[in-house]
Amino acid sequence: MTAEPPASPSPSEAEVSVEDQQQPMAEAQAEQPAAEAAAAESETTAEAADAAESGDRAASLEAELTALRQEHETVRSQYMRIAADFDNFRKRQQRDAEDLKLQLTCSTLGEILPVVDNFERARQQLNPEGEEAQALHRSYQGLYKQLVDVLKQLGVSPMRVEGEPFDPTLHEAVLREPSDAHCEDVVMEELQRGYHLDGRVLRHAMVKVSMGPGPASAPESAPAEGN
């Protein structure tokens, strides 16, 4: 028995089959732009979200940087104030230490100056005549010179006041007398020597001050003429 060949599809069936195959392709081609548009829109949305997130992060970093700068300026200002206060404290402490040292020096030297006065008085009164007395006088002069040299090394210097105008910041007026040889308010005599310490008054000089010429004596009246 001979097999019959399969029947070929009719033209109408073939057209239907081709249309059936082309329809999914057309639908796929139609859906592709929409998918691409959706993908592009999604990518754009993601980029916008990333840009917004980056902007927010940049704004946050900028705000943090501004806060750090303000904190830095605050800390710097506090440091500058503390440094200035410490420098002023150090200078004040140094001045106080120098003032205390000067006060102690003045107090100590003030106790020594009467000894110098006694040396001065003894030197004026001594008048050695014998050889032994002269040897003792030379020994005394050596001690006095040594004492004066020590005072000079410490910055002590005597005042020279005779003939100078009276200055209450340097002199202490003990006596005031009329004088034809000196003008008014001029130191006539030094009664106790004054001293400086590095330009500062260590002890005021006790002085006698001139009051100027005294009142002129009244002229003697001429003898009356006889009649």
Residues of the chain falling short of pLDDT 70: 1-41, 128, 214-227
Is the Cβ–Cβ distance between 169 and 79 less than 8 Å? no
Per-residue confidence (pLDDT) for residue 207, from 0 to 100: 95
Per-residue confidence (pLDDT) for residue 174, from 0 to 100: 93
Per-residue confidence (pLDDT) for residue 125, from 0 to 100: 76
Q: What's the rounded Cα separation, in Å, for the pair 2 and 196?
A: 157
Q: Count Cβ neighbours within 10 Å for each residue of 15-35 and write b for 16 or more, e otherwise.
A: eeeeeeeeeeeeeeeeeeeee
Q: What is the DSSP string of 58-84?
A: HHHHHHHHHHHHHHHHHHHHHHHHHHH
pTM over 0.85: no
Q: For residue 113, which of 173, 175, 201 has the smallest C-alpha distance?
A: 201
The token pair at 111 is 């106790």
Is the Cβ–Cβ distance between 96 and 104 less than 8 Å? no
Kindly report, residue by residue over 71-84, the tens digit of the pLDDT: 999 999 999 999 99
